[in-house]
Amino acid sequence: MSNADLLGVFEQLILMALLHLKDNAYGVTVRREVEQRTGRRVSIGAVYATLDRLEKKGYVSSFQGDPRPERGGRAKRFFRIERTGTVALRHSLQTVRNMSKGLKLAFK
Amino acid sequence: MTSSDDSQHRGDDDPFRSARAAHWIADLVVPRRLRENVWGDLREEYAARFDHTMPRGHASRWLLRELLAATPRFVVGRLSTEISLRTWLTILTSTSIGIALAYVESRPTWDDMGVLVAGIVFSAAAMGWVGSGFPWLIALAVGAWIPLHDVVVHGGHRLWRSSLPLSVPTPGPSCGAC
């Protein structure tokens, strides 16, 4: 895997959210998952822009669900992590672990 | 589900129905293929976070805030995924034409507004015809330089006058793109 395949931090967060959410990953739940687990506010634009980029790279795929009344009759767009996405995520996390190995970070 | 069913679901209880400004922003910045998903997500989130009995103005303000916060990411995403190489080249050419026209207009010896306006309209229309889509961006690329030059050099004293060329090319690319 080349250096160009290293994921950004937000891309990692989104992919991990997809893994947590399994079959229920769409805009609202992905955003909520990242917000709850990181404690930072995330815009819907950031979520979709990142999901779109990951889909273009082939790391995630998406499909339309059925229209729902609580969404004003609009359909959900569900996202699913692909095998290449899992590999890229594992590689990125391993890289971070390798870099941090041996460092004595003062967490107080 | 048919379109009539859709419209029934999007009926009178839609808290975003009157949020015209937010609809306008969404149409402008959110990529077309994402618009329905984003709108559905925001509607669902609003319903989950807030009481339905809240005044409609509250929904509009919340929606506007959400869309404004998301705008930079949507615009960047839209520009990178929806603009073709041909359109990028057209925007680059339009920018060059716009700068050339602004240079001509800035010369103290130049005093032919009619020729300048015609030049702006025709070049903007031609660029709109050549480029595939984004006429507003082409209009900006052609027409923004004269008012910009005015602001930088003259401190915007004649801004009302120099802004006219910005409004002139706007219909040009739209007509050209048709």
Considering the domain architecture, whether residues B96 and B170 belong to the same structural domain is answered as: yes
| CA–CA separation, B41 and A45 (whole Å) | 11
pLDDT for res A105: 72
Could you say which of B82, B107, B141 is where a domain stops? Answer: B82
**Chain position carrying tokens 């009178």:** B12
Range with top average pLDDT, A70-74, A85-89, B18-22, B120-124 = A85-89
| CA–CA separation, B45 and A29 (whole Å) | 9
B73 touching A (Cβ < 8 Å): yes
Q: Return all residues near B153 (Cβ < 8 A) that are at least 6 apart.
A: B106
pLDDT for res B163: 65
Q: Distance (Å) from the C-alpha of residue B134 to the closest C-alpha of chain A?
A: 19
Q: What percent of chain B has pLDDT over 70?
A: 73
Q: Return all residues near B140 (Cβ < 8 A) that are at least 6 apart.
A: B166
Q: Do A73 and B38 touch (CB under 8 A)?
A: no
Least confident of A32-36, A78-82, A84-88, B152-156: B152-156
Considering the domain architecture, whether residues B131 and B90 belong to the same structural domain is answered as: yes
Could you say which of B53, B82, B111 is where a domain stops? Answer: B82
pLDDT for res B104: 87
Considering the domain architecture, whether residues B89 and B72 belong to the same structural domain is answered as: no
Assign B169 a pLDDT band (cuts: 50, 70, 90): low
What residues are paired with A74 via a beta bridge? Answer: A68
Considering the domain architecture, whether residues B61 and B135 belong to the same structural domain is answered as: no
Range with top average pLDDT, A13-17, A102-106, B51-55, B158-162 = A13-17
pLDDT for res A29: 95
Residues of B within 8 A of A33 (CB-CB) are none
A8 touching B (Cβ < 8 Å): no
> Taking a contact as any Cβ pair under 8 Å apart, which residues of chain A between 20 and 79 contact chain B?
26-28, 31, 43-46, 48-49, 52-53, 56, 66-77
Structure tokens at A50: 């990142």
Q: Map out the domains of chain A as residue ranges.
A: 3-97
| pTM of this structure | 0.65
- HSE of A81 in the Cβ direction (CA atoms, 13 Å)? 21
Q: Do A75 and B42 touch (CB under 8 A)?
A: no
pLDDT for res B10: 45
Q: Do A71 and B69 touch (CB under 8 A)?
A: no
Considering the domain architecture, whether residues B43 and B125 belong to the same structural domain is answered as: no
Structural domain count, chain B: 2
Considering the domain architecture, whether residues B172 and B94 belong to the same structural domain is answered as: yes
A10 touching B (Cβ < 8 Å): no
Q: What is the mean pLDDT of residues B5-25?
A: 63
Could you say which of B82, B108, B131 is where a domain stops? Answer: B82
Assign A76 a pLDDT band (cuts: 50, 70, 90): very high
Select the CATH number that applies to the domain covering A3-97 from these four: 1.10.3720.10, 1.25.40.10, 1.25.40.340, 1.10.10.10. Answer: 1.10.10.10
Q: What is the mean pLDDT of residues B142-161?
A: 76
Q: What is the mean pLDDT of residues B11-15?
A: 57
Q: Do B44 and A70 touch (CB under 8 A)?
A: yes
B9 CB burial (10 A radius; 0-12, 13-18, 19+): middle
Q: Distance (Å) from the C-alpha of residue A101 to the closest C-alpha of chain B?
A: 34
Q: Do B44 and A44 touch (CB under 8 A)?
A: no
The residue in chain B having the minimum alpha-carbon distance to the alpha carbon of residue A28 is B41
- Asked if pLDDT for residue A18 goes beyond 90, the answer is yes
Long-range contacts of A7-12 (CB under 8 A, 24+ apart): A7/A88, A7/A89, A7/A92, A10/A46, A10/A50, A11/A50, A11/A53, A11/A54, A12/A89, A12/A92, A12/A93
- pLDDT, chain B, mean: 76
pLDDT (tens digit per residue) in B28-40: 888 888 888 888 8
Segments forming the whole domain that contains residue B131 = 85-177
Least confident of A1-10, A63-72, B67-76, B168-177: B168-177
Residue in A27, A56, A67 nearest the CB of B38:
A27
pLDDT for res B149: 81
Residues of A within 8 A of B45 (CB-CB) are 28, 31
Considering the domain architecture, whether residues B104 and B157 belong to the same structural domain is answered as: yes
pLDDT for res B3: 43
Considering the domain architecture, whether residues B130 and B142 belong to the same structural domain is answered as: yes
Closest CA to B46 of B63, B64, B32, B33: B63
